[in-house]
Amino acid sequence: MALASLRVDVYLTPGDRVAALRKDVLLGLTSDPKELPAKWFYNDRGSALFEEITGLPEYYLTSRERSILLADGTEIAGLTGAETLIELGSGSADKTGILLRALAEAGSLRRYVPFDVSEQALRDSAARIAGLYPDIEVHGVVGDFERHLPRLPQGLRRLVAFLGSSIGNLVGAERSRFLGELRAGLGSGDAFLLGTDLVKDPSRIEAAYNDAAGVTIEFNRNVLGVVNRELGGDFVLDRFEHVARFDRERKWMDIRLRSAVEQTVTVKDIDLRIVFEQGEEMRTEISDKFRRPELEAELGAASFELAGWWTDPDGDFAVSLWLPA
C-alpha cells in the first residue's frame, strides 16, 4: 500500500527551542514568585509521562473527551464537512483517529495537519496516520501555537481541533491573544473544535493532578530535568515536592513545585545562580476549568459563535464547535 503524501514543515528548530527555553527560564527564575511555563514539560520524557497520566484512573479528562468524540464524532463531521483536520498540540494523535475516521466515513477528508512543538513526536504520528490513510495528504507543522498559527496551511475547508483542555493552560491576555490570532486566520467554511474541562467537585479535579501512583509528580519535576539537560542546570529533583490545588475563586488548578529545603541552584548556560528558600513554591502550570456561559462570552468576544456543544453523561468535560462570526 502506498503512503499518503507526507510533508513536514519545521518552523521551530532545535536552536529556536533552546533560545526560547533560555529566555523563559531566565525570566521565570528571576520573577517573584518564580515560575516555569508548562510547555517545557513536553520533551520526549515528559510526553511519555503525560501519555501515562492519560490512562490513570484519577485522570478523567482524556477518557471523558474520548467518549464524547466516539459518541458525537459523526455529528461533528456532518456539521463541519471538513476537508482538512488540523490538530494543535497533536502529540501521539490518539484521539485524532476518532475524528479522522468520522470525516473519512463522511467522505470529506482530504488532508490532516498535525501541529506540535516536538518534531520527532510529530514525524512519528504523521507517518502512522499516513500509513492508515493513504488517500489523504498529511502535512505536519513543527511550531509553537503561540507564535506560528499563521503558518497553518490554507485552503480545503478546515477544522482546527484544540483538544485535551490544553486551552486551560493559557490564561488572561495570553488566551485572548491566542483566540484572536486563531480567529484572524479562519475563513468562511472553517471551524474550531475545542475540548474543555468543566467546573465540578474540587476534590475530583484535585485528584486528577495528584494520582496515587505518583506519575504526575514525576511529570511535574521533569521540567527541572529539562533545564538540567538543555541548559546545564543542577536541580536535584527530589528536593522539590509536587503541589497541586484547586483555586476556587479563579476556577483553576494551580500546580507548583515546592522546595523541600533551602538550596541554591545554578543554571550554567544562562549564568544564573538562584536561591530557593525552604517551602518556597514555583508555579509550573495553571489548568483553567470552564462553565458554558463564561466560555461562550469569551469566545464571543473573539468573534466566534457556538455551533455545537457536547458533554459526557456526567457533565465532566465538554467538546464544543465554534464558527467564525
pLDDT tens per residue across span 59-112: 999 999 999 999 999 999 999 999 999 999 877 667 788 999 999 999 999 999
Half-sphere exposure of residue 68: CA atoms within 13 angstroms, side-chain side: 27
For all residues of the chain together, what is the average pLDDT? 94
Give the predicted TM-score (pTM) of the model.
Answer: 0.93
CATH of 5-11+58-201+291-324, one of 3.10.105.10, 1.10.10.60, 3.40.50.261, 3.40.50.150: 3.40.50.150
Listed in order, the ranges of the chain carrying CATH 3.40.50.150 are 5-11+58-201+291-324
250 pLDDT above the threshold of 80: yes
pLDDT tens per residue across span 183-209: 999 999 999 999 999 999 999 999 999
Mean of pLDDT values over 227-247: 97
State the Cα torsion 69-70-76-78 to the nearest 10°: 170
pLDDT tens per residue across span 207-230: 999 999 999 999 999 999 999 999
Mean of pLDDT values over 266-279: 97
Q: At 3, is the pLDDT very low, low, confident or very high (cuts 50, 70, 90)?
A: low
Q: At 1, is the pLDDT very low, low, confident or very high (cuts 50, 70, 90)?
A: very low
> Among 99, 311, 303, which Cα is nearest to 195's?
311
C-alpha cell recorded at residue 180: 484572536
Residue 173 burial by CB count (10 A; 0-12/13-18/19+): exposed, middle or buried?
A: exposed
Cβ(80)–Cβ(308) below 8 Å: no
> Among 59, 54, 69, which Cα is nearest to 195's?
69
27 pLDDT above the threshold of 70: yes
> Among 283, 293, 287, which Cα is nearest to 251's?
287
